[in-house]
Amino acid sequence: MQILQTKFKALIPTESTVILGLSGGPDSVFLLHLLIILQKSHNFQLIAAHLDHEWHSESDQAREFCTQLCANLPVTFISQTISQLNFTPKQTGSQEDLGRQYRRYFFEQLAVEHTPAKIWLAHHLDDQIETFILRLARGTSLTGLTGIKTQTGLYIHPLLQLTKLDILNYLEINKINYFTDPTNSSLDYLRNKIRQTVLPALYQADPRFQQNFKRSLTKLQASEQFLASYTSKIYQQLITPEYLLDLIKFKTLENYLQNRVLLHWLCQSGVKFTLTEKFLAEILRFLQHPNATSSHQLGTCLISKKAGFAQISGN
């Protein structure tokens, strides 16, 4: 654990704030205790943040557990329910995704109030494997298969090299209590189905699966990093100082690279959009159409063409 705490220090600027997503489960309780130990030698503010989704009768028990835990330690504790949030999520049909949207909004509002701040989440290696299989089952890109990153914007995931067993063993040895969420065993959720049926079968098929997965994921992440760097270089050759895209050069690219450059262009433009294969395909069709001057509206995204260049804007 000493090595882990040393890595933590590099992720926490002095006199900043760490906002820990605390569910009360073993993973977030484990991370909370490690951060408390780290506070003794590193100057930062620690806030435990808990969002009550109000979706099952035990949610108030989880909130009460977190309240008492933080009072006893003591740690600054902030809790809200989703009904208290001034936020309307995008309806995707997945309760898991709705919960994620609500949590991100809650955490990010706290980060604004306590800037400079980072949001720490307790995802571990088992979560990484589940996420890979879940995305594979639903269909995704190479980027999606590279899984959860240690750092992404405001978010820090410091436990990705640890297994669930590592965490449970630490809690048992140190006699640390945690809350068990009954929904974690429900097969109503795809992630739980993967955890309870797919993963045991993979481990039984080959006991080396976990180590082999880590090696494969490392190679996928290296490939993605190379492609991201290459895409950025190509993008710089196609874009003008006014952020206009050179369509003549763009059309000479392979289709795969066109998609990556287009996505990079959208992200760099700052325009808000919902990424889907259909969305990217429609923009590509418009850009490749022989009509030299025209415009096309997709949601809040306006794409226009003139004199061999394309421009993107939002409204």
69: which 2 tokens? 């835990």
Please report the pLDDT score of residue 289 as a whole number: 86
Q: Under 8 Å CB-to-CB from 218, ≥6 apart: which residues?
A: none
Residue 22 binned pLDDT confidence (cut-offs 50, 70, 90): very high
**pLDDT tens sequence across 171-195:** 999 999 999 987 777 787 889 999 9
Please report the pLDDT score of residue 17 as a whole number: 97
What is the pLDDT of the chain when averaged over all its residues?
Answer: 92
Please report the pLDDT score of residue 174 as a whole number: 96
Residue 30 binned pLDDT confidence (cut-offs 50, 70, 90): very high
* Average confidence (pLDDT) over 196-203: 95
Contact in structure between 18 and 48 (CB atoms under 8 Å): no
Contact in structure between 181 and 23 (CB atoms under 8 Å): yes
pLDDT of 2 strictly over 70: no
Q: What is the DSSP string of the chain?
A: -HHHHHHHHHHS-TTEEEEEE--SSHHHHHHHHHHHHHHTTS-EEEEEEEEE---STTHHHHHHHHHHHHHHTT-EEEEEEGGGS-------S-HHHHHHHHHHHHHHHHHHHT-SEEEE---BHHHHHHHHHHHHHH---HHHHT---SEETTEE-TBTTS-HHHHHHHHHHTT------GGGG-TTSHHHHIIIIIHHHHHHH-TTHHHHHHHHHHHHHHHHHHHHHHHHHHHHHHB-TT--EEHHHHTTS-HHHHHHHHHHHHHHHT------HHHHHHHHHHHHSS-SSEEEEETTEEEEEETTEEEEEE-
**pLDDT tens sequence across 41-70:** 889 999 999 999 988 878 889 999 999 999
Residue 292 binned pLDDT confidence (cut-offs 50, 70, 90): low
How far apart CA 63 and CA 137 sit, in angstroms, is: 33
For the chain, percent of residues with pLDDT exceeding 90: 71
Please report the pLDDT score of residue 273 as a whole number: 83
Domains in the chain, CATH or no CATH each: 2-205 (3.40.50.620), 214-314 (1.20.59.20)
CA angle (66 as vertex; 13, 124 as ends), nearest 5: 55
pLDDT of 298 strictly over 90: no
Q: In the sheet where 309-314 sits, what is the strand order?
A: 245-246, 309-314, 301-306, 294-298
Residue 211 binned pLDDT confidence (cut-offs 50, 70, 90): very high
Q: pTM of this prediction?
A: 0.90
* Average confidence (pLDDT) over 10-21: 91
For the chain, percent of residues with pLDDT exceeding 70: 98
